[in-house]
Amino acid sequence: MILGLDWLLILELLLLGCFTGFLAGLLGIGGGMLMVPFMTLILSAHGVPASLSVKMAIATSMATILFTSLSSVRAHHKRGAVRWDIVKTLAPGIVAGGLVSGAGVFALLKGTTLALVFALFVAFSATQMLRAKKSHAGRQMPGPAGRFAAGGVIGFISGLVGAGGGFISVPFMTWCNVAMHNAVATSAALGFPIALANTLGYVIGGWSVSSPLPGALGYLWLPALAVIATSSVLFAPLGAKVAHAMNVQQLKRVFAMMLYALAAYMLSRAV
């Protein structure tokens, strides 16, 4: 055993980290849409009650984004694809929204309620991916106040569902006529402030929570975080490389179908 985890569990977490890291680089997402349902399943199998397993899965998923976002954005930055001007203006609102969500609202909501919110959000995100509506040619990014508000929404919702915000920020930026590859790269950069604010919030909000698993810090499951982060960091640059070499629309359709299935699972946890 390593870090209190048996070898089979380590293998499962490594594979989950590889897949979510690859998607982080490919689609500019943090991987939470995939990680949270599978982490919930793993935690439930280890005796964590439903009221706590969803919260721990969301918090641990968000913490891994601290590592995958840095690895992914480094690869995108080398290609000059990150719109740092957008990152600088959205980040303050993201941090504010993330702290409100992670340290306040997240701790107050029941795990089953969060599972329902997650399921509905994932289903909505999958539908938006399939629609792929074209934006108005003259539309641009909003001014400073609008960007702060948009960042606040992205940070707040990301904190509730444990995602890096890519499923909100990428559609938002493309709606504002930011090129797809730039939107994906910029979303990867936005993942770090989203993850940092919310992870701090989860630790503060869950400080007094007692977990049946060893190695838990608040809502974070540190051993799983270490394993997933290690493998995801290695695969995020590969996803970024593939993203700049292919049209991702077909992959998005397949991914959307998988999201519907995961949404259905989380809905079953909620009810």
Over the stretch 55-109, which tens digit does the pLDDT of each residue have?
888 888 888 888 877 877 887 888 888 999 999 999 999 989 888 887 777 777 7
* Alpha carbon distance 128, 21 (integer Å): 22
Given CA atoms 208, 210, 215, 219 in this order, what sign does their dihedral have? Answer: negative
Average pLDDT over residues 239-268: 73
Q: Where are the domains of the chain?
A: 7-270
Looking at per-residue confidence, does 222 or 184 come out higher? Answer: 222
What is the per-residue pLDDT for 109? 75
Which of 30-44, 58-72, 204-218, 251-265 is least confident?
251-265
Please provide residue 221's backbone torsions phi and psi, each rounded to the nearest 5 degrees.
-105, 95
Q: What is the DSSP string of 86-99?
A: HHHHHHHHHHHHHH
What is the per-residue pLDDT for 83? 92
Over the stretch 127-138, which tens digit does the pLDDT of each residue have?
876 776 665 656
pLDDT over 60 at 30, yes or no: no
What is the per-residue pLDDT for 266? 75
pLDDT band at 27 (very low <50, low <70, confident <90, very high): low
Say if strands 220-221 and 216-217 run parallel, antiparallel, or are unpaired.
antiparallel
Secondary structure (H, E, C), 172-221: HHHHCCCCHHHHHHHHHHHHHHHHHHHHHHHHHHCCCCCCCCCCEECCEE
What is the per-residue pLDDT for 53? 86
